[in-house]
Amino acid sequence: MKGIFIEREIKYDGSQLSSHFAYKNFKIAGDSIVCFIGPVDVKLSEMVDIEDVINNEPISSDKMLNFIIEVFGFEIKGLIALQRLFINIIRESIESINPSIRIERDGDDLYYKGKKLSISIATLSPISGLIHTAINIVNTGCPIEVSSLEEMGIDYKEAGKRIIDNFISEYEGIKFASVKVNWVS
């Protein structure tokens, strides 16, 4: 697993959730996690989450910390389990920066003081598993009332880099755990 924190702003519109995003844009082939900041504006026509489309709930924010994960060799249930592990890693990473903060998780969503902090989706392409997760840096430009890293006093660069490092460590640990055991009959 390779990771990169991109310093320049990139607007997330849903098109980035595609196979080989990291390879085509940053020359990172294979399993990867890319983090970047930028506004989010996903129109209903570009949304992957059918429930959000049915409920007419487009996604937007003035500034989010975006993560795109691409992994190979996953089926959808395993990918969703990885997505939820990633959500927990985000929670733990933020709470480790400021131990007085308490973030709640409900499925693949994070909440701070009862307000939504994150968005996340996991899906498959013909060749890979893809996850997009984003955390509000600010709480403006959203269709609902949300919480943000800014209101927590969390530096988004520090958080992004810590989340990348913690996810790569966990992912590599999972890979090692999968090859260090004997099979049983």
Beta strands in the chain (DSSP E): 2-6, 32-42, 59-71, 103-106, 109-112, 115-116, 118-124, 129-136
CA distance 93 to 96: 5
In this structure, is residue 48 part of a structural domain? yes
In this structure, is residue 30 part of a structural domain? yes
Chain segment 69-103, per-residue pLDDT in tens:
999 999 999 999 999 999 999 999 999 999 999 99
Domain CATH number, residue 56:
3.30.930.10
8 A C-beta contact, residue 68 and residue 33: yes
- The single residue listed with the structure tokens 């499925």 is 107
For residues 163 and 52, which has the higher predicted lDDT (pLDDT)?
Answer: 163
Amino acid at 33: I
Q: What is the pLDDT of residue 51?
A: 81
Chain segment 148-181, per-residue pLDDT in tens:
999 999 999 999 999 999 999 999 999 999 999 9
71 token code pair:
């992994």
- Among residues 68, 73, 99, 100, the alpha carbon closest in space to that of 86 is found at 68
For 49-53, 60-64, 143-147, which range has the lowest pLDDT when averaged over its residues? 49-53
CA distance 117 to 105: 10
Residue 153 is classified by DSSP as: T
CA distance 52 to 108: 14
CA angle 122, 124, 7 (to 5 degrees): 60
Share of residues in the chain with pLDDT > 90 (%)? 88
- The single residue listed with the structure tokens 């487009």 is 58
Residue 26: which residues within 8 A CB-CB, separation 6 or more? Answer: 4, 6, 34
In this structure, is residue 117 part of a structural domain? yes
In this structure, is residue 43 part of a structural domain? yes
Q: What is the domain extent for residue 125?
A: 2-179
In this structure, is residue 185 part of a structural domain? no
For residues 22 and 43, which has the higher predicted lDDT (pLDDT)?
Answer: 22
In the chain, the number of structural domains is: 1
Task: State if pTM tops 0.75.
Answer: yes
In this structure, is residue 184 part of a structural domain? no
